[in-house]
Amino acid sequence: MPAGTLLYAQSGGVTAVINATASAVLQAARARKVRVLAARNGILGALREDLIDASALSAAEVKGLAHTPGGAFGSCRLKLKSLADDRAKYERLLEVFRAHDVRWFLYNGGNDSADTALKVSQLAAEFGYPLTCVGVPKTIDNDLAVTDCCPGFGSAAKYTAVSVRECALDVAAMAETSTKVFVYEAMGRHAGWLAAAAGLAGEGKDDAPHIILFPERPFDEADFLARVDAVVKRVGWCVVVASEGIRTADGTFVADAGGGKDSFGHTQLGGVASHLAGRVKDALGHKVHWALPDYLQRSARHLASQTDLDQAMAVGRAAVECALAGQNAVMPVIVRDGDAPYRWHVDIAPLARIANHEKTMPKGFIRKDGYGITAAARRYLSPLVAGEAFPPFGRDGLPNYVTPVMTSVPRRLPAWRG
Amino acid sequence: MPAGTLLYAQSGGVTAVINATASAVLQAARARKVRVLAARNGILGALREDLIDASALSAAEVKGLAHTPGGAFGSCRLKLKSLADDRAKYERLLEVFRAHDVRWFLYNGGNDSADTALKVSQLAAEFGYPLTCVGVPKTIDNDLAVTDCCPGFGSAAKYTAVSVRECALDVAAMAETSTKVFVYEAMGRHAGWLAAAAGLAGEGKDDAPHIILFPERPFDEADFLARVDAVVKRVGWCVVVASEGIRTADGTFVADAGGGKDSFGHTQLGGVASHLAGRVKDALGHKVHWALPDYLQRSARHLASQTDLDQAMAVGRAAVECALAGQNAVMPVIVRDGDAPYRWHVDIAPLARIANHEKTMPKGFIRKDGYGITAAARRYLSPLVAGEAFPPFGRDGLPNYVTPVMTSVPRRLPAWRG
């Protein structure tokens, strides 16, 4: 057994397959006889010295994590600032690492986490503490630089495309006397990847979704409403997919246009779909419905993509191998070798090329009129949602998700006063 | 081949398995060599003489319908009034039936459709026109009388329970620094069956969903908020499932409390989840998210229950047999023969016992405190979501739903001026 401990932490919004990455990390570490601790609730657990003995998980629990959504060890949204601004926190992390002989730190998250892992590695070098920091990619937003795609995205994309295909059949059946316009709100504050994935639901000119709204394009209400009306006139009904992050030309988030006060003066929580539905109703008079899947889209492990699951596990395994090989301040990334047939492999990229970057949709993926995806986008997206990876279901008809027993590691340091 | 034609029509909100019923109807009719027409967009197509030659569907299309959500022939929300008030419409129906030699009428819907089918049969008898009318049960609301459960409900219930189990894992992972309260809005204007099904997602006292709000119980905001806060304090987070139809003690729909105007004077579409989320935020200060799956919950064929699919097909077959046997003004219903193991069979009930009745949750299914389900409810619900009936998926990762070619039947009557 190599000397030292590997610390694994989950960061930011969870995905349908981040636990599959955790499962792969634990399996790879077991194969190499490396002890693994997990930070409870992400970096917060590391700061608080709130650590879980992940090596104590049973083989069945480790295997079960691969088909369990959510973040089994807990995640958090704490973003560390620069080394100068948050120096005490970074130093505390090193103190905890030292106390538990952590020699390898795997941080499973997005841009911010890549940045944190990079800074921790820099401070460790400054202090002469032997630490290898490896970022492990994860985000349904698919907005990480360098990697061709992000584990977590493919499954959320599959959920989106399937859901839109299904509700479109519903709307089509009822449009004559009921809802004519349906608005589906997809996650994606800055990048329209998930909304784009909805485009896979249909192929023909009049297939749903008829209109996709991307944060990469300014939202023009009059043009949008005219298009909705034209689709209703031509097709009889219209399905709209809107990214939560769409903005008008002056930079205002459309979601913020709603969300005022109701008639009792209570906060009225809005959102893009609700707002657009209201505008369609007011301006066009069509009966409208909308859906806000919210967390359902990032936790729908029952509809995970096999490609996504494979990649989530591959980056977990690769991260352990990188770390044990001493490849510091890097992240395993997905490289695409071909579209049809789809081929990919894992490469290793420096965190410095990934930290704090954000990859939006390339211009060539958005149709010229701004309301749909191109053939190039289809070629990119399609393999990412391919393959089904259903979880095991119990006799009760529900997925057998696991809740591993978490054994806390005794603290060795005074409590953190962060 | 028996003389005469069988007319099949879909009515009201669609389900994940109403097309499976249609598939079974077509298969049974083929086996008996009976010609089948389908009304386009439900009863509206019958009034307009807008009929589809369903016997022209290919065997592959008929088979494919069994795994395709939506309403393949179109549905509608047109409710016929009493014979006296809507006599012209009923007479027109008979005129169309006569013109196409329709001897058997299968109407696939809920309470209203049962009522319409009953009235059509009464008028036919009055006119001496030989017609057998059979209702075929369908509704995700599960609110039909007599039948133990309604085809369409089991699949929507499974979607609800799985979705709530999945998003609960998401909330649990992030609650420390992010969302503490999550509100899921389930369909059910008058009956809380779907919200109740969410209760299957967890079993222990502190498992999600922590709070279920039923339309069968008056909503008390102060009590609700106190319970949410108590759960957050005890568990760290709270998942709420709310029926869209909950009302305060004075009968006001909670959904109508929201939905005012936004800061621009635009209609702000509300809903129960949005409203409750706003109240939690204002009154308790917890970070809150909510989901409104809307049509997704009734079209999620990818997550259909095998029990539900079996029953949807069984009532379709039974309806054809009833009709051909001349059993008039009846509906095939599901009879439960046992809970564990679950056993059921199809029986035939008079439409008069079903038309316009509405079955809400029995008192014994709602926990005494009003915020959860009882063991009896679990025994009832659990078998209905059992078994997976995944549709076939293509190599592109999406379900292979079918869109049959619909051949219109030439009109034989002057246009309807309804």
Contact call for residues B174 and A14 (beta carbons, < 8 A): yes
For A377, A403, B343, the CA distances from A70, given in Å and listed in that order, are 28, 10, 35
The verdict on whether residue B188 carries a ligand-binding annotation is yes
- Looking at chain B, which residue has its C-alpha nearest residue A198? B398
Q: Do B298 and A163 touch (CB under 8 A)?
A: no
Does B281 lie at the interface with A, CB-CB under 8 angstroms? yes
Give the pLDDT of residue A264. Answer: 61
What is the end-to-end Cα distance of chain B in Å, rounded? 34
Q: Which chain A residue has the Cα nearest residue B161? A: A398
Region A165-178 average pLDDT: 96
The CATH class, in words, for B5-139+303-357 is alpha beta
Residue numbers in A near B275 (CB within 8 A): 262, 266, 268
pLDDT at A270 over 80: no
Which member of B44, B170, B302 has the closest CB to residue A176? B44
Burial tier of A203 (Cβ tally within 10 Å: 0-12, 13-18, 19+): exposed
Place of tokens 């937003």: A141
* Gyration radius (Cα) of chain A, Å: 23
Least Cα distance to A43 among A102, A3, A84, A2 occurs for A102
Residues of B in contact with A14 (CB under 8 A): 169-170, 173-174
Q: Are B268 and B175 in contact (CB under 8 A)?
A: no
Which residues of chain B neighbour A10 with C-beta distances below 8 Å? Answer: 173
β-pairing, A211-213 with B5-10? unpaired
**CATH domain B153-299 topology:** Rossmann fold (3.40.50)
Query: How many angstroms away from the CA of B232 is the closest CA of chain A?
Result: 16
Which residues are bridge partners to B344 per DSSP? B336
DSSP bridge pairs for A241:
A184, A212
Residue-range domain boundaries for chain A: 5-139+304-357, 153-299
Judged by CB atoms within 8 Å, which residues 331-350 of B form the interface with A? none
Which residues from chain A sit within 8 angstroms of residue B290, using beta carbons?
Answer: 269, 292, 294
Q: What angle do CA B383, B387, B389 make, to 5 degrees?
A: 135
Cα separation, B173 vs A258, in Å, equals: 29
Q: How far is CA A87 from CA A9, A108, B254, B385, in A?
A: 20, 22, 49, 53
Annotated ligand binding at B189? The verdict is yes
**Shortest CB distance from A270 goes to which of B168, B170, B268?**
B268
B-facing residues of A in 32-61 (CB < 8 A) are 41, 44
B406 known ligand binder: no
**Could you give the CA distance from residue B251 to residue B240 in angstroms, rounded to a whole number?**
21
pLDDT at A282: 95
State whether residue B257 sits within 8 Å of chain A by CB.
Answer: yes
- Confidence band of A79 (pLDDT split at 50, 70, 90): confident
B257: which chain A residues are within 8 Å (Cβ-Cβ)?
262-264, 266
Q: Is the dihedral of CA B402, B407, B409, B410 positive or negative?
A: positive
Nearest neighbour of A398 by CB, restricted to B69, B200, B268: B200
Query: pLDDT per residue over A29-76, tens digit each?
Result: 999 999 999 999 999 999 999 999 999 999 999 999 999 999 999 999
pLDDT digits (tens, 9 = 90+) for A187-215: 998 899 999 999 999 988 899 999 999 99
To test the contact with chain B by mutation, choose from A264, A295, A381 the residue with the greatest count of B C-beta atoms within 10 A, namely A295
State yes or no: cis peptide before B215, omega within 30 of 0. no
Sign of the alpha-carbon torsion through A336, A338, A341, A346: negative
Answer yes or no: is A244 a known binding residue. yes
pLDDT surpasses 70 at A309: yes
- Closest to A257 (Cβ–Cβ): which among B174, B260, B264? B264
Dihedral of alpha carbons B21, B22, B23, B25, sign: positive
Contacts of A266 in chain B (CB under 8 A): 257-258, 275, 278-279, 282
Q: How much is the pLDDT for A200?
A: 98
Task: Report the pLDDT value the prediction gives residue A189, as an integer from 0 to 100.
Answer: 87
Q: What's the gap in Å between the CA of B410 and the closest CA on chain A?
A: 21
Smallest CA–CA distance from B294 into chain A, residue: A291
Statement: residue A262 has pLDDT above 60 = no
CA distances from B19 to A40, A161, B38, B91 (A): 47, 21, 12, 28
Q: Do A295 and B257 touch (CB under 8 A)?
A: no
The sign of the dihedral angle between the CA atoms of A47, A75, A406, A332 is: negative
Angle in degrees, CA B337, B342, B345, rounded to 5: 45
Provide the mean pLDDT of chain A: 95
Query: B141 labelled as ligand-binding?
Result: yes
Query: Cβ–Cβ of B296/A200 closer than 8 Å?
Result: no
Classify each residue of A86-122 as buried b or exposed e, where b means 16 or more C-beta atoms within 10 Å of its C-beta: beebbebbbbbbeebebbbbbbbbbbbbbbbbbbbbb
For residue A295, give the nearest of B167, B396, B397 by CB distance: B167
The 8-class DSSP code of residue B392 comes to: P
Structure tokens at A309: 């699951």
DSSP B272-322: HHHHHHHHHHHHH---EEEEB-TTHHHH-GGG-BHHHHHHHHHHHHHHHHH
Which secondary-structure segment (H or E) carries A301? none
pLDDT of res. A259: 54
Give the CATH architecture of domain A5-139+304-357: 3-Layer(aba) Sandwich (3.40)
Hey, is B342 helix, strand or coil?
Answer: strand
Helical (H) or strand (E) element with B227:
helix B221-235
How far A384 CA lies from chain B's nearest CA (Å)? 9
Spatial distance between the Cα atoms of A355 and B34, rounded to a whole number of angstroms: 67
Shortest distance, CA A355 to any CA of chain B (angstroms): 22
Give the C-alpha separation, B237 to B221, whole Å: 19
Q: Does residue A356 have a known ligand-binding role?
A: no
A-facing residues of B in 80-109 (CB < 8 A) are none
Distance (Å) of CA B343 to CA A76, B334, B361, B386: 46, 10, 21, 12
A410 pLDDT above the threshold of 70: yes
Interface test with A, best of B170, B184, B378 (most A CBs within 10 A): B170
Q: How far apart are CA A154 and CA A306, in angstroms?
A: 9
Residue B255: the pLDDT is 86
Q: Nearest CA to CA, how far is A15 from chain B (Å)?
A: 8
* Chain A interface includes B370 (CB < 8 A): no
Q: Which pLDDT score, from 0 to 100, does residue B269 have?
A: 64
B70 labeled binding residue: no
Within this chain, domains A5-139+304-357 and A153-299 share the same CATH topology: yes
Regions of chain B where pLDDT drops below 50: none
Query: B382 to chain A: which residues are within 8 Å by CB?
Result: 396-397
Predicted pLDDT of residue A266: 64
Q: Which residues of A touch B279 (CB under 8 A)?
A: 266
Contacting A residues, span 161-220, partner chain B, CB-CB under 8 Å? 161-163, 165-174, 176-179, 182, 200-201
- Which residue numbers of B are catalytic? 141
Q: Is B297 annotated as a binding residue?
A: yes
Q: Are strands A288-291 and A181-186 parallel, antiparallel or unpaired?
A: parallel
- What are phi and psi for residue A392, nearest 5 degrees? -65, 140
Q: Is A383 exposed, middle or buried (0-12, 13-18, 19+ CB in 10 A)?
A: buried
- In contact, B242 and B185? CB cutoff 8 Å: yes
Which amino acid is it at B351? L
Burial grade of B265 (CB within 10 A; 0-12, 13-18, 19 or more): exposed
Q: Does A260 touch chain B (CB under 8 A)?
A: yes
Question: Which member of A141, A143, A229, A308 is catalytic?
Answer: A141
**Which residue of B lies nearest to A290 if distances are taken between CA atoms?**
B294
pLDDT at B145: 96
Q: Is B390 on the interface with A (CB under 8 A)?
A: yes
> Catalytic residue at A53?
no
